[in-house]
């Protein structure tokens, strides 16, 4: 039986392909709510929103695994923060500009009023990553859509993701990764905390969770838990088997046992690791595909909203196909011209800061 430790050393996996499929699944899920205004059931017990939930859970699992690996192999706080900023912020900033430009095409407000609202939208949505709830819309944009007044609903998950990065930085800084006793104590505490959230419907508890993790209480069970599972999978990789029998057993448990958010998260997280590393499923031709998933994720929502507003598309399947056709070129541009060049700055930003510091004016006392 192969363990995750042995398979991970080979550095051959399907992660880029999984991310791409997950991003496309999010576009598919959004196509229904953005064109119809509701989340319909595709078959009994499973709505179209299920595709988005599975996709986001997959993203958090992969992040937990890879981000923990990134810190554990480097253990340099500055390099860790630098890498995270260079991966997220350039594309995020471009997506805000993209939202503003698309809004110009459909806004019912005057140009001057719109530009003022766009400026507020840019600043508030940028600060949304760390400091404040998202409370600014683009004036007169998407007001008649089935899902109105939402320039880019996909951005909600990024603050939660950043908080997981901070968690890794915090645990790593205090050497918790090297002290498994404290790591397990942390995990049990988190499980107890999430259990309380699950059984008690408390407004105060829900607001506290939303503030700390930037997700509603049900999301704490799914998404940060998926990140923690990915984190544990890396830290205990020598004990994690990648076996088709375990995968089949979990799938059967998911469909045969009563539904549980915990079980769903465990099944999705293990499935991601299984399809990511199981050698017989690895598609070698797809290993080196560029990572367009982030671009598809952050640019698809405003593209879909604009298509619905301008072309009055109320068929989710047509919207799905058209939005992918328009979003993919933007995602390709973002990767090759913004995201990838930004990643090449890893390890260089400190030298740039020191360079500018040399020219800092000195005043005589």
Nearest C-alpha neighbor of 154 from the set 325, 29, 15, 280? 29
For 263-274, the DSSP string reads HHHHHHHHHHHH
Nearest C-alpha neighbor of 311 from the set 296, 329, 326, 299? 326
pLDDT at residue 363, as a whole number: 47
Which residues, other chains included, contact 289 with Cβ-Cβ below 8 Å and sequence gap of 6+? 16, 17, 20
pLDDT at residue 173, as a whole number: 86
Q: Write down the pTM of the prediction.
A: 0.89
Is 362 contained in some domain? no
- Longest alpha-carbon distance in the chain: 77
Question: Are the CB atoms for 296 and 24 separated by under 8 Å?
Answer: yes
Total structural domains within the chain: 1
Which tokens hold the place of 343? 């990643």
User: How many residues are present in the chain?
Assistant: 365
- Calpha distance 156→234 (Å, rounded): 26
- Calpha distance 69→54 (Å, rounded): 23
Residue reference for tokens 């059931």: 41
Residue 348's SS3 state is: coil
Is 241 contained in some domain? yes
Which tokens hold the place of 146? 């089935």
Q: Which CA distances in Å does 311 have to 44, 256, 277?
A: 31, 43, 42
Is 364 contained in some domain? no
Q: Which residues pair with 241 in a beta bridge?
A: 3
Is 70 contained in some domain? yes
Structural domain span for residue 282: 4-357
Is 185 contained in some domain? yes
Question: Are the CB atoms for 274 and 2 separated by under 8 Å?
Answer: no
pLDDT at residue 211, as a whole number: 58
Per-position pLDDT tens, the chain of length 365: 688 988 887 778 999 999 999 999 999 999 999 999 999 887 777 788 889 999 999 999 999 999 999 998 887 889 999 999 999 999 999 999 999 999 999 999 999 999 999 999 999 898 888 766 566 689 999 999 999 989 999 998 898 899 899 989 988 888 888 887 888 888 888 777 766 666 665 555 555 666 566 665 555 568 888 999 999 999 999 999 999 999 999 999 988 888 777 888 999 999 999 999 998 999 988 888 899 999 999 999 999 999 999 999 999 999 999 999 999 999 999 999 999 999 999 888 877 666 555 555 554 44
Residue reference for tokens 């840019």: 122
pLDDT at residue 197, as a whole number: 63
Q: Which CA distances in Å does 112 have to 98, 102, 109, 117, 164?
A: 18, 16, 8, 9, 39
Is 363 contained in some domain? no
Phi, psi of 291 (to 5 degrees): -90, 85
Give rounded-to-5 percent helix, strand, coil for the chain. 75, 0, 25
Is 114 contained in some domain? yes
Is 325 contained in some domain? yes
């Amino acid at each position: 039986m192969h363990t995750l430790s042995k398979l991970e050393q080979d550095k051959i996996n399907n992660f880029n392909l999984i991310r791409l499929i997950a991003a496309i699944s999010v576009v598919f899920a959004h196509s229904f709510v953005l064109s119809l205004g509701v989340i319909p059931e595709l078959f009994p017990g499973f709505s179209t929103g299920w595709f988005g939930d599975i996709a986001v859970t997959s993203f958090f699992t992969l992040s937990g695994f890879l981000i923990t690996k990134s810190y554990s192999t480097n253990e340099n706080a500055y390099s860790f923060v630098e890498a995270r900023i260079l991966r997220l912020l350039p594309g995020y900033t471009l997506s805000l500009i993209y939202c503003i430009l698309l809004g110009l095409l459909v806004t019912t407000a005057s140009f001057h009023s719109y530009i003022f609202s766009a400026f507020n939208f840019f600043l508030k949505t940028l600060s949304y990553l760390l400091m404040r709830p998202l409370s600014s819309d683009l004036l007169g944009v998407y007001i008649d859509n089935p899902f109105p007044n939402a320039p880019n609903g996909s951005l909600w998950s990024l603050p939660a993701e950043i908080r997981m990065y901070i968690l890794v930085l915090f645990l790593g800084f205090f050497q918790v990764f090297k002290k498994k006793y404290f790591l397990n104590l942390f995990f049990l505490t988190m499980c107890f905390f999430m259990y309380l959230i699950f059984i008690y419907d408390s407004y105060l508890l829900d607001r506290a969770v939303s503030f700390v993790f930037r997700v509603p209480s049900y999301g704490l069970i799914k998404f940060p838990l998926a990140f923690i599972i990915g984190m544990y999978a890396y830290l205990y990789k020598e004990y994690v088997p990648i076996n088709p029998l375990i995968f089949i057993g979990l799938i059967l448990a998911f469909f045969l046992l009563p539904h549980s958010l915990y079980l769903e998260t465990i099944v999705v997280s293990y499935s991601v690791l299984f399809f990511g590393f199981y050698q017989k499923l690895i598609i070698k031709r797809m290993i080196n595909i560029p990572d367009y998933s982030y671009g598809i994720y952050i640019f698809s929502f405003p593209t879909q909203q604009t298509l619905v507003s301008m072309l009055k598309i109320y068929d989710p399947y047509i919207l799905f196909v058209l939005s992918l056709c328009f979003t993919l070129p933007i995602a390709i541009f973002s990767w090759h011209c913004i995201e990838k060049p930004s990643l090449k700055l890893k390890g260089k930003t400190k030298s740039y800061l020191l360079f500018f510091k040399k020219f800092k004016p000195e005043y005589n006392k």
